[in-house]
Amino acid sequence: MVAPSPLAVTKILTGIAGFDEITCGGLPRGRTTLVMGGPGCGKTVFALQALVNGARRTKEAGLFVAFEESTRQIIANAATFGWDLPALERKKLFFLDAQLSPEVVKAGEFDLIGMLALLEIKARDINAKRIVFDGIDVLLRLLDDPAAERREIYRIRDWLSRTGLTGVITQKVGGIGAVDQHYTFLQFMVDCVVVLRHEVVDGSAFRNLRVKKYRGSGFAGDEFPITLTTEGMQLTNRGPTELEYAVSDKRISSGLPRLDNMLRGGYRSGSNVLISGAPGTAKSTLSALFAAAACARGERTLYVSFNEGAAEIVRNLRSVGIRLAPHLKSGLLKMYSTRTRGPNVEDQFGELRAQVWAHRPHCMVIDPLSALSTKIAHVASADAAQQFLDFLKGEGITVVNTSLMDGINTDEATATGISTMADTWIHVSYVVQDGERNRALTIVKARGIGHSNQVRELTLSDDGVSLTDVFAAQGKVLMGVARWEWEQQEQAGKKRSLAATVLKRLQLQVAQAEAAARLQVVRTEMEARSAEIAVLADATGSASKLVQTDRAVLRKMRHADEEVRVAVRVAKRVGAKNGLARNGEPGLI
Amino acid sequence: MRLYVAGNAPNSLRAIANAKAICEEYLTSRYALEVVDLLKHPRRAVDDGIIVTPTLLRLRPLPIQRVVGNLSDTNQVLLTLAAK
């Protein structure tokens, strides 16, 4: 809202997304706004939403004067918007049934003084700040006199300025863009004029809104597409011309650890991820993994699916071990399943925005986004997907989109241009080889993230989803059974070489043992020889001693001395032999 | 009959005068007319679903008939009052 200054127009928010932006804060407070358009443009919704938003968000009570439809009808119609009008009606809203039945007999001029007196009392009762006169054209037609019409309109305007209420008057105009000449004075009288337009292009309805006049305020005067969603009306403005988002370096898991590794830590928080591939390449499964992981971290998640029911998806995912039911139960996960409806994707993106506002998710899955982008048939819708992704980025929501690609030359091409918007693009393709079809996953791009350039094989089983390295051999990438065989062969080869090693070691151990045994034999032999020598030497010593003794005795007896030298020489030779044996074991065998 | 008016607005004053004249002239004394001023009793408008003033209601005989305006069109008023 614009900061209030004594001179500037202060404004009230309508709660109509987009409108409050293009008017820099909503409708002029305490002034009157005219909403005009052909039948079915959403005039009543516009007016009612402005009133309801006041009652719900800013606790400003309001009055609704219905000239055209009965209040019962209006409340019933608004039930689709989830505003809970009956509850608001008790406290914050007052509906006045001012339907003038066509059978009413008119006998002379009349005025609105009585009704305004009643409204004034009611406004005081509930402290109303806003009022809607819905379908003023019905009243004007009944007056059937330009002077009287003007008089009553001025009466309403004076009454509004006296009571200080913010007024919204809706007026039906015939045909597209045409305004009955004598009602144009309404446009001069009010402070703000909003024109709604409804057209049919190629069998699809398009609604547009344009602010024609806004006294004392700037506004965007272009025509903007509007959509009616379950949360009410919203307006798609073209988005900021300058792209400025809060960026995050935080990473969040893709739900598949090996994919996180390939991305060096997972998806970037707040980015948009595109998973493309042919039908059945497990795009949905990959996006569901992301959703399940987000829920497991306790983050609110919105799962949007087209042409497949939520219950069906939950059941199918259970077969690959992904369980979403508990998260649905806890309310963390919201599943929104819808069908693509014709070329007006603006409406569908509008509904998605409403879903985002209602659930306030942290993570989101759109499966498939291509369901919306391929049906583009109208210029106004052409950049709807871009705008929606911009919106999600602005909200800081991490979104995983899938995109279906079939046909022949669509390997790495997206006709829709979604890929240029994606921050991270993962492509899953089929590789048909050796009579089987396998899934190959690659990361085509990942802005601002280092990532693996490797192809991985994606396999689905009862235990879940896994990524496996693929082998390149003989100039071919091996996947599926071929990869499995290769793995088996590799394993068998490893086993064989292991066995050979073991055998070789055993053989060597045997040889070593043999050598040791031989060594023992030699050593024992040596000892035996040594012993023998010792014995021999001993024997020789005793013998010579004996001889000497005998000789000595003999010499004594003969008185001789010449034999002594000979005996000494013999003793010396025996001692040298003994010394050699003691000096260690011989190294030779 | 019940006539809803709004203070002394021209249409209301005219309606009161017209209603009284028509009643006197055509219904002589076979009528009862209540005049409700919505400026004094605005809440009463809710009871009979009154949107514009003046509004004349024929309460009896049933069904209730209503005619809006300052009742200057005497024929229309008489037709409505005589309606079954």
Cα distance between residue A66 and residue A519, in whole Å: 120
What residues pair up with B36 in beta bridges, in sequence order?
B4
In this complex, do A110 and B54 lie within 8 Å of one another by their Cβ atoms?
yes
* pLDDT mean over B23-32: 76
Residue A456 pLDDT exceeds 60:
yes
- Residue of B4, B51, B64 for testing the chain A interface, max A β-carbons within 10 Å: B51
| Cα angle A387-A393-A398, degrees, rounded to a multiple of 5 | 125
Please tell me the predicted confidence (pLDDT) of residue A373: 61
Report the length, in residues, of chain B. Answer: 84
Q: Which pLDDT band holds residue A523 (cuts at 50, 70, 90)?
A: very high
Q: Is A120 on the interface with B (CB under 8 A)?
A: yes
In this complex, do A108 and B18 lie within 8 Å of one another by their Cβ atoms?
yes
Please tell me what DSSP assigns to residue A266: S
Distance from CA of A27 to the nearest CA of B (A): 27
Cα distance between residue A254 and residue A472, in whole Å: 26
**What's the topology of domain A251-469?**
Rossmann fold (3.40.50)
CATH of span A11-235:
3.40.50.300
In this complex, do B53 and A105 lie within 8 Å of one another by their Cβ atoms?
no
In this complex, do A107 and B80 lie within 8 Å of one another by their Cβ atoms?
yes
In this complex, do B11 and A108 lie within 8 Å of one another by their Cβ atoms?
yes
CATH assignment of B2-82, among 3.40.30.10, 3.40.640.10, 3.40.50.720, 3.30.930.10? 3.40.30.10
Those residues whose C-beta lies under 8 Å from the C-beta of residue A295, and which sit 6 or more positions away, are A301, A324, A327, A330, A332, A333
Q: E strands, A283-423, where?
A: 301-306, 333-338, 363-367, 398-404
pLDDT higher at A182 or A306: A306
Quick check: A105 and B80 in contact, CB under 8 A?
yes
Nearest by CB to A109, which of B65, B69, B77? B69
Cα distance between residue A491 and residue A488, in whole Å: 5
Averaged confidence pLDDT in chain B: 79
Among candidate residues A211, A136, A210, A220, the one with its CA nearest the CA of residue A180: A136
Please tell me the predicted confidence (pLDDT) of residue A475: 65
Distance from CA of B51 to the nearest CA of A (A): 5
B-chain CB neighbours of A100 within 8 Å are 51-52, 68
Extents of the domains making up chain A: 11-235, 251-469, 484-582
Averaged confidence pLDDT in chain A: 77
What percent of chain A shows pLDDT beyond 70? 81
Residue A414 pLDDT exceeds 70:
no
Please tell me what DSSP assigns to residue A245: -
Q: Is A72 on the interface with B (CB under 8 A)?
A: no
Residue A508 pLDDT exceeds 90:
yes
B-chain CB neighbours of A108 within 8 Å are 11, 14-15, 18, 69-73
B55 to chain A: closest CA residue: A110
Quick check: A379 and A346 in contact, CB under 8 A?
no
Six-digit token pair at A263? 């991305």
In this complex, do A100 and B76 lie within 8 Å of one another by their Cβ atoms?
no
- Output helix, strand, coil percentages for chain A, rounded to the nearest 5: 45, 25, 30
For the ranges A343-347, A380-384, B70-74, the one whose mean pLDDT is highest: B70-74
Give the SS3 label for residue A36.
strand
In this complex, do A110 and B69 lie within 8 Å of one another by their Cβ atoms?
yes
Distance from CA of A111 to the nearest CA of B (A): 5
Render pLDDT for A79-100 as a digit per residue (tens, 0 to 9): 777 777 777 777 777 887 778 7
Please tell me the predicted confidence (pLDDT) of residue A408: 38
Please tell me the predicted confidence (pLDDT) of residue A521: 94
Residue A36 pLDDT exceeds 70:
yes
In this complex, do A114 and B5 lie within 8 Å of one another by their Cβ atoms?
yes
In this complex, do B67 and A106 lie within 8 Å of one another by their Cβ atoms?
yes
Q: Is A154 on the interface with B (CB under 8 A)?
A: no
Q: Is A112 on the interface with B (CB under 8 A)?
A: yes
Quick check: A22 and A157 in contact, CB under 8 A?
no
pLDDT higher at A507 or B73: A507
Q: Is A147 on the interface with B (CB under 8 A)?
A: no
Task: Give me the sign of the Cα torsion angle A419, A420, A422, A424.
Answer: positive
Distance from CA of A105 to the nearest CA of B (A): 5
Residue A126 pLDDT exceeds 60:
yes
* pLDDT mean over A423-439: 81
pLDDT higher at A222 or A577: A222
Render pLDDT for A248-258 as a digit per residue (tens, 0 to 9): 778 888 888 88
Six-digit token pair at A505? 């070691």
Please tell me the predicted confidence (pLDDT) of residue B81: 74
- Asked casually if ipTM beats, i.e. exceeds, 0.95, the reply is no
Residue A524 pLDDT exceeds 90:
yes
Residue A586 pLDDT exceeds 60:
no
Residue A353 pLDDT exceeds 60:
yes
Please tell me the predicted confidence (pLDDT) of residue A587: 46
* pLDDT mean over A164-171: 85
Give the SS3 label for residue A474.
coil
Residue A510 pLDDT exceeds 90:
yes
A106 to chain B: closest CA residue: B68
Nearest by CB to B43, which of A105, A113, A121? A121
For the ranges A10-24, A53-67, A295-309, A570-584, the one whose mean pLDDT is highest: A295-309
Please tell me the predicted confidence (pLDDT) of residue A528: 93
Distance from CA of B74 to the nearest CA of A (A): 7
Residue A204 pLDDT exceeds 80:
no
Cα distance between residue A172 and residue A157, in whole Å: 18
Distance from CA of A83 to the nearest CA of B (A): 25
Please tell me the predicted confidence (pLDDT) of residue A517: 94
The alpha carbon of residue A468 and the mean position of all alpha carbons in its chain are separated, in whole angstroms, by 23
Task: Give me the sign of the Cα torsion angle A357, A362, A365, A370.
Answer: positive
A113 to chain B: closest CA residue: B6
The domains spanning A11-235 and A251-469 adopt the same CATH topology: yes
Nearest by CB to A97, which of B49, B68, B80? B49
Please tell me the predicted confidence (pLDDT) of residue A6: 44
What percent of chain A shows pLDDT beyond 90? 7
Q: What are phi and psi of A65, to 5 degrees?
A: -105, 115
Render pLDDT for B29-59 as a digit per residue (tens, 0 to 9): 677 778 888 788 877 777 777 788 888 878 7
Render pLDDT for A250-309 as a digit per residue (tens, 0 to 9): 888 888 888 888 888 888 888 888 888 877 788 888 888 898 888 888 889 999 888 788
B4 to chain A: closest CA residue: A114
Residue A515 pLDDT exceeds 90:
yes
Residue A118 pLDDT exceeds 90:
no
In this complex, do A106 and B76 lie within 8 Å of one another by their Cβ atoms?
yes
Least confident of A192-196, A342-346, B70-74: A342-346
Residue A575 pLDDT exceeds 60:
no
Q: Which pLDDT band holds residue A504 (cuts at 50, 70, 90)?
A: very high
Extents of the domains making up chain B: 2-82
The reply to whether omega before A86 is within 30° of 0 (cis) is no
pLDDT higher at B67 or A40: B67
pLDDT higher at A431 or A361: A361
Residue A168 pLDDT exceeds 60:
yes
Residue A191 pLDDT exceeds 60:
yes
Distance from CA of A104 to the nearest CA of B (A): 6
pLDDT higher at A544 or A157: A157
